[in-house]
Amino acid sequence: MNQRKRKQAVNDRRPKIIPFSLDATFFFERAVQSLDRFHYDKALKYFRRAVEYEPDNPVNHCNMAGILSEMGRYEESNDILRSVLDKIDPAMTECYYYLANNYANMEKYEDAEDALVRYLETDAEGQFLDEADELLDLLHYELNRPTKLSTIKSKENVYAHDKARELLEAGRFAEAVRILEEIIGRQPDFLAARNNLGLAYYYMGLFDKSIQTISEVLEAEPGNLHALCNLAIFYQHSNQAKELAELLALLRKTIPFHPEHVFKLATTLGIVGEHQEAYRHFRRLLRSGELAGEPSLHHFAAVAAANIGRFDDAERYWQQAERLDPQSEVPPFYLKKLERMKSGEAAPPTHYHYHLPFDEQFRKWEQAPELVPGALKQDPLVRSSFFWALRHGDRRTKVQVIQALGLVADEEVIDALKAFLVDPEEEDELKRVAVLVLRSIGVQDSLSVMFGGKTLTLEPRRKSARLPVWDSAWQTVLEQAMEQMSGRYDVVQQHDMMTLWVDYLSRVYPQVPKLHNSAAWAAALEYWTAKMHRQSVTYAELVDRYQASQASISRYANRIDEACGIREKLKLSMTLSAFKENR
C-alpha cells in the first residue's frame, strides 16, 4: 500500500464529529419541543438557559413568564414581567396584557383592570385586542361596573379617521385634512384615510394634491374602487380627457356587489356624464331595497333618468323623493322644472347633489341673506359647493361666494380666504374684495397678498367692530372708488381706502346712512385716502371723475371724519413729524 492510500485509510477510520454551538437559539428550540410534548418543567429549564445566554433579550424573559403562568405560578410570572417593563424593555407593552391575565387568574380583578387599561392605552400593535375584549367583559361582570378607558392606542387612527369623516360630512374640510395628514404620518398604509384626504383636497379645490393623494392609494391597491371613482372625477374637473377615457373604460365594466360600492360607482358615472350607466346602477340599488328609503337615491335616479330622456321615470323618482322627504325643497324644484325639460326649454341637472343649484341658492339668499350662515354651517354639500366655487367659479360667482363666506366667518372660512389672497391665478380685484371681507369680519392681523405678481404684507391701520352683514350698497361704493383709484394709487393705498370704509361702517353701524349717492361716497373715500398719504387731489378733480357735486362729496367726507376723526389724526401726525424734524 503506498503512502497516499495509507493516509486515506487512517482518515477513514477517524470518528466523524458534527460540531454544534450551545446558544440561546439552541435552548429556545429545545424549550419549544418540550412545550409541544407538554413537558413544562423541561421547557422552563431550557428557557432559563436561553435567558442566561441572552439576558437582555426581553422575548426570552416573556417566554419564561408564559411557562410559569401555564404552570399556575402567577406571582413568579408577574415578577418577571415587571422586571421586563422596569429594567429591560419598557416598550414591551404586551407584558401589561400578560399581567392582566395573571391577575384575573389570581382573582385580583382590580389589579387585572389596571394592567389591562395600561395595555390598551399604550400598546400600538393591538396583538391581543380580541382577548382584551373578552377580559373586559369578564372584569365588567366580576366588578359589576364598566372599565374606565380613555382610549385604545392601537385603534387611535381608526377613531381619528371616524372623526375626520364626520368633519368631512360637516363640511369642515381644513380640520379634516389636518387629522387625515396626521393619521397618514403615523400609518402610511391606512388607505381609507388617504382616500378621504384626497376627497378633502378636492372639496377645497386643491386638484393637484387630490390627484397625487389618490394616485398613492392606487399604487398600493390598484383595484381600490373608491380611489378609481375619485380619480375619475378629478380627471374630469382638471380636463384630463385622455386619462379619463381610459379610466371610464374600466369603470363601465365594473359590477360591484356591495351597495356602498354600487352607490359610489353610480354617482361617479353620473358626475362624469355617463348617465346611462349611472341610471342602470341606481335602478339596481332601488330594486335591492337596501337604500330604497333614502330620498337622495331617488333624486339621483331621477337626475340620471332626465339626462337620458326618460322623463316619466324621472318624475316618478322625484315624486317618491318628495314623499320620503317632504321638508326638502329639492324634489318640488325639479318637478316644477320638469315640463320645461321635456320641451327642451331647460336642461336637466348636470350635478349629482341633493341640494338646489348654486345659482338658485344665491337668488334665495339675496332675498333673505340672514339664511346664509345657517345653510353654510349646517349643510356640508352647500358648504363644499361654496369652497368649490371660490376656486373654480366665474368672476361674478366668486364675488358672491367671498361675500357669502364672510357671513359665516369661522376659522376654516378665514383660512380659505387667506389662501385665496396668495393664489397667483386669482384676479387682483377679487383679492381686494376678499381683503375687505376679512377686515369687515374682524380679522385684524397682517395679511399676505399677491398683487400684480408680487407678495405684499397689508398691515391693519384701524381696528373695527365686526359687521354682522355686508350690504350690496356698501359694496357698490367700494367698487366705484376702486375703479376710479385704480392706476392712480398703489395697492397699499387702495387697501387703506377699503379699511377706512370698513372702519366708518363699523363705527356708525347699525345707523348706517342711506347710500343713494354712491359716487359721492366713493369720492369722499378717495379724498381722505389721498390726504392720509399726502397725495394731491382737489374737489374739482373728484367732481369731474365721479360725476358728483362738490357739496355732496364734501358733506360725506365730513360724515366720515366725524365718525373716524381723520383730521385730528392727520394734525397729530404732522405735529409729530415737525417735532422729529426740529430735533
* CATH number, domain with residue 297: 1.25.40.10
Residue 10 pLDDT: 45
17 DSSP assignment: -
The better pLDDT of the pair 386, 1 is held by: 386
Task: Measure the CA angle with vertex 208, ends 156 and 448; round to 5°.
Answer: 90
Of 16-30, 257-271, 322-336, the range with the lowest mean pLDDT is 16-30
Residue 371 pLDDT: 62
Beta-carbon count within 10 A of 413 CB? 24
11 assigned to some structural domain: no
* Residue % of the chain over a pLDDT of 90: 13
The answer on 288 and 252 residing in a single domain is: yes
The answer on 326 and 188 residing in a single domain is: yes
**Rounded CA separation 303/305 (Å):** 5
Q: Which one of 113, 145, 177 terminates a domain?
A: 145
Q: Which one of 312, 344, 376 terminates a domain?
A: 344
Of 409-413, 497-501, 521-525, the range with the lowest mean pLDDT is 409-413
Has residue 465 got a pLDDT over 60? Answer: no
Q: What is the SS3 assignment for 64? A: helix
- Report, as an integer, the average pLDDT of 57-66: 80
**Rounded CA separation 407/402 (Å):** 9
Which residues form the domain of 377?
357-460
Residue 368 pLDDT: 63
Residue 508 pLDDT: 83
User: Which tens digit of pLDDT belongs to each residue from 80-114?
Assistant: 888 888 888 888 888 888 888 888 889 888 888 88
CATH code, 489:
1.10.472.10
Of 14-18, 50-54, 548-552, the range with the lowest mean pLDDT is 14-18
- DSSP for 386-443 reads HHHHHHHS-HHHHHHHHHHHHTT--HHHHHHHHHHHT-TTS-HHHHHHHHHHHHHTT-
* Residue % of the chain over a pLDDT of 70: 81
- Report, as an integer, the average pLDDT of 509-534: 88
Residue 275: pLDDT band (50, 70, 90) is: very high
The better pLDDT of the pair 471, 572 is held by: 471
- Report, as an integer, the average pLDDT of 528-550: 89
265 assigned to some structural domain: yes
Has residue 77 got a pLDDT over 60? Answer: yes
The answer on 314 and 195 residing in a single domain is: yes
User: Which tens digit of pLDDT belongs to each residue from 339-355?
Assistant: 889 888 888 887 777 77
Of 113-127, 192-206, 360-374, 437-451, the range with the lowest mean pLDDT is 360-374
Residue 260: pLDDT band (50, 70, 90) is: confident
The answer on 165 and 116 residing in a single domain is: no
With 0-12 / 13-18 / 19 or more C-beta atoms within 10 angstroms meaning exposed / middle / buried, residue 204 is buried
Residue 202 pLDDT: 80
Q: Which residues 6+ apart lie within 8 Å of 384 measured at CB? A: 171, 173, 203
Residue 5 pLDDT: 45
13 assigned to some structural domain: no
With 0-12 / 13-18 / 19 or more C-beta atoms within 10 angstroms meaning exposed / middle / buried, residue 444 is middle
User: Which tens digit of pLDDT belongs to each residue from 167-220?
Assistant: 877 667 788 888 899 888 888 888 888 988 988 888 776 778 888 999 999 888
Residue 549 pLDDT: 92
Residue 151 pLDDT: 62
The better pLDDT of the pair 497, 4 is held by: 497
Torsional class of 341: left (φ above 0), alpha (ψ -120 to 50), beta (otherwise):
alpha
The answer on 428 and 495 residing in a single domain is: no
- Report, as an integer, the average pLDDT of 45-59: 76
558-580 b/e (C-beta count within 10 Å ≥ 16 → b): eebbeebebeeeeeeeeeeeeee
Has residue 48 got a pLDDT over 70? Answer: yes
The answer on 532 and 443 residing in a single domain is: no
Has residue 527 got a pLDDT over 80? Answer: yes
C-beta of residue 534 within 8 angstroms of C-beta of residue 580: no
551 assigned to some structural domain: yes
Distances (CA, A) of 271 to 41, 86, 224, 304, 394: 69, 59, 19, 10, 20
**Rounded CA separation 43/515 (Å):** 94
C-beta of residue 278 within 8 angstroms of C-beta of residue 304: yes
The better pLDDT of the pair 134, 170 is held by: 134
**Rounded CA separation 569/159 (Å):** 56
2 assigned to some structural domain: no
The answer on 339 and 297 residing in a single domain is: yes
Q: Which residues 6+ apart lie within 8 Å of 514 measured at CB? A: none
498 assigned to some structural domain: yes
Q: What is the SS3 assignment for 450? A: strand
**Rounded CA separation 466/527 (Å):** 25
- Provide the domain count of the chain: 4
Q: Which one of 406, 426, 460 terminates a domain?
A: 460
Has residue 302 got a pLDDT over 90? Answer: yes
Has residue 582 got a pLDDT over 50? Answer: no
The answer on 335 and 188 residing in a single domain is: yes
The answer on 161 and 135 residing in a single domain is: no
9 assigned to some structural domain: no
18 assigned to some structural domain: no
Residue 132 pLDDT: 76
Taking the alpha carbons at both ends of the chain, their separation in whole angstroms is 124
The answer on 539 and 449 residing in a single domain is: no
The answer on 451 and 515 residing in a single domain is: no
- Tell me phi and psi for residue 461, to 5 degrees: -105, -25
The better pLDDT of the pair 5, 23 is held by: 23
The better pLDDT of the pair 469, 399 is held by: 399
**Rounded CA separation 279/272 (Å):** 13
The answer on 163 and 141 residing in a single domain is: no
- Report, as an integer, the average pLDDT of 428-445: 77
Task: Measure the CA angle with vertex 259, ends 257 and 263; round to 5°.
Answer: 110
Q: Cα 270 to the chain's mean position, in Å?
A: 24
Residue 269: pLDDT band (50, 70, 90) is: very high
Mean pLDDT of the chain: 79
346-381 b/e (C-beta count within 10 Å ≥ 16 → b): eebbeebbbbbbbeebbeebeeebeebbebbbebbe
